[in-house]
Structure 1
């Protein structure tokens, strides 16, 4: 077996040197004399300065991470709100369609219903479809009953009147159905409220 020559052989890029017979490459740039040496820490003042800088950088990093987490949570909340409440304006506009259908059904007499049975069945079915579409988007009706206690969170008092045998502050008439969208009020139910006799 011939002796191997152990003289260094230069590469084309003149940055690495390989030793004949070896698989390792030695990076000449690692031994560059012009590279600035790390400053040596001398004395307790330099150590304290480095520790203060380290604490400041750690504080900034923690604040940046907290801000990024807050941004992520805000973005997630905004996305959820947009999914649930994004159609609020359209839903509010469609409430008048619901109201008009309800008025048509309420205003019809029994004779009119019999004479135009298929027409009123169509209106009723269309209103049910609208309510079904509302429920798919978490829009639910608020339908108070006569005698229910007035709740200012979900009811709007249109008038007050004394009514015998009704306690003050109870619903005596329902004029318009109210609606919720998820857990928020879309429109209050318009009601008449009993006052003190």
Structure 2
């Protein structure tokens, strides 16, 4: 009976050893699967973040194209406005009396051009004489010492500037005082 008992214990020891080997293999495999899962989760989260960033970037580019895509055409239309403005400025009272309907047509054309500009987010920058020069929206064409002005004050406006939404399309061209107030 002792032989049988020894045999059973030997068999049990082999079973225990086999069980421990299988358990160790299963634990190793489980750890490998957890590592793979964590790596795949990380890659998935990064891909999700990349996709979200790409969507946001595309939305921003779409909005910019919508708002600023016509800036070249708008910039090319500014000389048309300037020509209409100069024509109206040059019209004397005598010309207005003689060619009233034509002058009125030019005024209506200029007004309609400004309406079209406004519909597309283009605003005129019309600085006033006496305002402070701002290099962000004005371009100094000359400097002159003008009595009773402060250095940096606008003394003459030669050409209006224009903004397209929040971007400068063309700076206002101005003359600036170089003389301190006396």
Q: TM-score, normalising length from structure 1?
A: 0.77
Q: For structure 2, list consecutive stretches of 5 or more residues without a partner in the other structure.
A: 1-22
Matched, 1:108 2:91: yes
Aligned length: 158
Matched, 1:121 2:104: yes
Distance in 2 between residues matched to 1:146 and 1:41, nearest whole Å = 88
Q: TM-score, normalising length from structure 2?
A: 0.83
Distance in 2 between residues matched to 1:169 and 1:44, nearest whole Å = 80
Question: Once the two structures are superposed, what CA deviation does each residue of 1:133-165 show, in whole Å capped at 9, x if it has no partner?
Answer: 000001010000000000111111111111111
Written as runs of structure 1 = structure 2, the 5 A alignment for 1:2-81 is: 42-81=25-64
Aligned to 2:172: 189
Aligned to 2:20: none
Matched, 1:86 2:69: yes
Structure ranking higher in helix proportion: 2
1:46 is displaced (CA, Å) by 2.6
Higher relative contact order (CA 8 A, sep 6+): 2
Q: Report runs of 4+ in structure 1 exceeding 6 Å deviation.
A: none
Structure ranking higher in strand proportion: 1
Q: For structure 1, list consecutive stretches of 5 or more residues without a partner in the other structure.
A: 1-39
Distance in 2 between residues matched to 1:105 and 1:153, nearest whole Å = 28
Distance in 2 between residues matched to 1:150 and 1:175, nearest whole Å = 14
